[in-house]
Amino acid sequence: MTTQDPHAFAAEWIEAWNTHDLERILAHYDADIVFLSPLAKQRIGHGRVEGLDALRAYWAAGLAAQPNLTFEHRETLVGFDSLTILYTNHRGQKCAESFEFGGNGKVIRASACYGL
């Protein structure tokens, strides 16, 4: 990553989710974000959420449906203009979220993966 400390990003991202502060969560993402998730496929019929407004609506519904949602950080992996956060969710499920950053330091593409 070239724009910020990966450990600081991971800590802030986890904390934003754990406080359920939707606008704080969304502050990490670019207006043209593309988010890929198998849960999105289950919830909205396809696994691709495009744009900040669509992501806001998707996650607002998700947070409302999961009032006990919390993440426990496990590890941060760093790539070229990207990183992956490994964490465990409130159900004890292993999860990974990978982020690609644009020139403005915001996430332009994210992909969520979940342990079976």
The boundaries of the domain holding residue 90 are 6-114
The answer to whether residue 116 scores a pLDDT higher than 90 is: no
The pLDDT score that the predictor gives to residue 42 is: 85
Q: What is the mean pLDDT of residues 28-39?
A: 97
pLDDT exceeds cutoff 90 at 65: yes
Total number of domains constituting the chain: 1
Residue 86 lies inside a defined structural domain of this protein:
yes
Confirm whether 1 is domain-assigned: no
Tens-place pLDDT, residues 86-114: 999 999 999 999 999 999 999 999 999 99
CATH number at residue 78: 3.10.450.50
| HEC secondary structure over the chain | CCCCCHHHHHHHHHHHHHHCCHHHHHCCEEEEEEEECHHHHHHHCCCEEECHHHHHHHHHHHHHHCCCCCEEEEEEEEECCEEEEEEEECCCCEEEEEEEECCCCCEEEEEEEECC
